[in-house]
Amino acid sequence: MELNKFHIVAFAVLIFYIPVGHSWGIDGHLIICRLAQPRLSKAAADAVSQLLPADAENDLGSLCSWADRVKFRFHWSSPLHYLNTPDNLCTYQYNRDCKDEDGRKDRCVAGAINNYTTQLLSYGDSSPRYNLTEALLFLSHFMGDIHQPLHVGFTSDKGANTIDVHWYKRKAVLHHVWDSSIIETAEERFYDAQVNELIDALQKNITTVWSDQAKAWETCDKTSCPDVYASEGIKAACDWAYKGVHEDSVLGDDYFLSRRPVVNLRLAQGGVRLAATLNRIFG
């Protein structure tokens, strides 16, 4: 077969648009940023509003997936969306696991959260070394990613990106089920297909059933605590995401209904912790 222009274009479309799913879907990130923004202190809210580009109209949620959109342009940033741990060990250690596929240290989602936290601490300096708008958008996105259980997954299946399953009747990879399908199915079934209704329900639970826990989620002895979040993540991946799933599993109501509370919890934790982190940075 001779390659013609059509094949080349088709191939380019394939490589760029196959959802390799290295991130919560758009809704997952939107939810986390929308939960976080109303929880900001005056100082943090002012800094965020200064750093957001004007066309975001002070809505952090509208740019919470920016880091996914620039993944190809900023190719160096793609390993920063996740981290992989040794297969079936179900533990995480920064020194062992925070590296990219070439073994370069710190190049993982936990290292990136530390990196952009440190950069943002220079907010207010007369000549900042880094683009702090980008730092804010990266940090807000990666705080979301680290709370998606399969962004802290096993090495050989690339965070369940190579595990093919059926989500009800449709083919999907397990990673994508956790990025998007559980959230989308919940929205359709329980929230009138409105992401805002899911955000309101989470917001309400943060101030009621989760109010005591939420104080503990905020606590952290450093400016940001990605190692804690990553350890919880691999545990949730083992206990809930991978559990009982094999190649070609059909995942339906049993899986959906038992995993939905885990997704809700991780979204809520992500939102509360993003706000707490920004409050510490700009506080």
Q: Which residues bind ligand NAG (CB under 6 A)?
A: 76, 80, 106-107, 111-112, 115, 130-131, 133-134, 201-202, 205, 209, 264
Rank residues 80 and 241 by Cβ distance to ligand NAG and give the closer one.
80
| Selection from 81, 218, 228, 221 nearest residue 159 by Cα | 81
Which strands sit side by side in the sheet containing 170-173, from one edge to the other?
170-173, 164-167, 250-251
Rank residues 25 and 111 by Cβ distance to ligand NAG and give the closer one.
111
Q: Please, what sign has the CA dihedral across residues 95, 99, 101, 104?
A: negative
Helix (H) or strand (E) holding 176: helix 174-176
Cα separation, 84 vs 231, in Å, equals: 12
| Selection from 149, 165, 151, 144 nearest residue 27 by Cα | 144
Cα separation, 259 vs 239, in Å, equals: 10
C-beta separation of 166 from 249 below 8 A: yes
Least separation in angstroms between residue 165's CB and ligand NAG is 24
Least separation in angstroms between residue 107's CB and ligand NAG is 5
Rank residues 106 and 218 by Cβ distance to ligand NAG and give the closer one.
106
* Per-residue DSSP letter, 163: -
Angle, CA of 89, 117 and 52, to the nearest 5°: 125
Least separation in angstroms between residue 240's CB and ligand NAG is 15
Please state the φ and ψ torsions of residue 152, each to the nearest 5 degrees: -120, 85
Least separation in angstroms between residue 231's CB and ligand NAG is 19
Least separation in angstroms between residue 118's CB and ligand NAG is 9
Rank residues 52 and 177 by Cβ distance to ligand NAG and give the closer one.
52
Least separation in angstroms between residue 131's CB and ligand NAG is 4
Rank residues 89 and 262 by Cβ distance to ligand NAG and give the closer one.
262
Rank residues 63 and 160 by Cβ distance to ligand NAG and give the closer one.
63
